[in-house]
């Protein structure tokens, strides 16, 4: 049996209390006035994940995103992600229909496709999503090239997902890819964070918020 070390610091160690207080602080410190009413819990979950209440100033949530996303998950739609980090962050027990979480980044076909097309592995992997993308949910948290590639496929008549979480992080192409999502004329509901901020944890947080109860 392991021995608990001497407690040298004053801190809350009650899990449920930490949970309650954390979300109370988020709601007290976050301006949710520009967020669709049914998406407030999505914004709250994202702020809780990154620890930055000012995130909502850059957060863009399509007014139909929550409705479309929840309907897709309840119908058993798969969730396509651009990285194993996003996949790992999705809490499977929250998913309402044991929804499949799919990442093709490590598929053996990806390196050859990426080399042939002169693009990244993340972008090439998107092409392997195939027809199952129709009506599915998408969560892009790492690679701007994956989001660009997805939008290009849709623009050429490719399968249309039910909703897109587009929050890739970075200094090259990140802001531009998210702006392209916001301005895309396909009418697909989305969540985006303008600028350079984003990441796998934020992408997973959106899916978890859709699947779980409001905080």
- The rounded distance, in Å, linking the Cα atoms of 75 and 71 is 6
Active-site position among 48, 62, 104, 149: 48
Known active-site residue 48: yes
- The rounded distance, in Å, linking the Cα atoms of 68 and 117 is 33
Dig out the tokens for 124 from the structure: 């090439």
Residues annotated as part of the active site: 48
């Amino acid at each position: 049996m392991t021995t608990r070390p001497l407690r040298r610091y004053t801190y809350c160690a009650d899990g449920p209390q930490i949970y309650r207080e954390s979300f109370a602080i988020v709601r007290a410190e976050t301006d949710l006035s520009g967020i669709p009413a049914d998406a407030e819990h999505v914004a709250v979950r994202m702020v809780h994940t990154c620890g930055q209440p000012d995130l909502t100033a850059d957060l863009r949530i399509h007014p139909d995103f929550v409705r479309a996303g929840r309907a897709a998950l309840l119908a058993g739609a798969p969730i396509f992600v651009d990285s194993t980090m996003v996949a790992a962050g999705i809490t499977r027990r929250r998913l309402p229909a044991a929804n499949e979480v799919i990442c093709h980044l490590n598929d053996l076909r990806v390196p050859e496709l990426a080399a042939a097309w002169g693009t990244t592995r993340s972008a090439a992997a998107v092409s392997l999503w195939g027809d199952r993308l129709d009506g599915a949910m998408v969560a892009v948290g790492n690679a701007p090239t994956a989001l660009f590639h997805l939008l290009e496929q849709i623009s050429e008549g490719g399968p249309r997902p039910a909703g897109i979480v587009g929050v890739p992080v970075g200094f090259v192409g990140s802001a531009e890819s998210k702006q392209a999502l916001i301005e895309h004329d396909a009418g697909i509901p989305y969540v985006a964070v303008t600028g350079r901020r984003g990441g796998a944890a934020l992408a997973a947080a959106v899916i978890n918020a859709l699947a779980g109860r409001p905080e």
